[in-house]
Structure 1
Amino acid sequence: MPKGNPNPIITPEFKANQFKRGDEGTEPLSEKLLCVRLTHSIDEVLRSLPNRSAWVRRVITEAAQRELMKDGSKAARE
């Protein structure tokens, strides 16, 4: 027998408190997740940030555009 709520209701309060991206969000996010393991010291600093996902996303995007992409949109590995 299936478990869970067969008729879930999303209230306005629930919608208002859902996770927000924290960045401009001009381009849709990938469906796939990218996970990395960090050293303890870096992990501790990142987890202390109020919006670490937006910061990590911005830093990775800037580095990828600078180092891996010629015009910022098409991958061109050297």
Structure 2
Amino acid sequence: MRKTDTFQDNKDIIAELKVQDSHFAIIFDEHTQLDQRINQLEKDLIQHASRDEEIEQMKRRKLQLKDEIYRTIDNNKMKSSA
């Protein structure tokens, strides 16, 4: 997969995986929830200042999930083309 691929570029595969693979659905939903929470905290400067470490931990977890999501997408693409 190209590094510039986004979730939007893979929306069909993601939709299919969310239905067929419960683990994928869980990690995708967790990633989405973390993204929303991080954005919310970063917009609130008062909360952001007091929660820097928590935000950094959420960002690390979100990145781990993103890597796993893309690995699953890549594996699915290879199975589809085989």
TM-score (ref. length: structure 2): 0.28
Please identify the structure whose Cα radius of gyration is greater.
1
Greater helix content: 2
TM-score (ref. length: structure 1): 0.29
Q: Quick one: higher RCO (CA 8 Å, sep 6+), 1 or 2?
A: 2
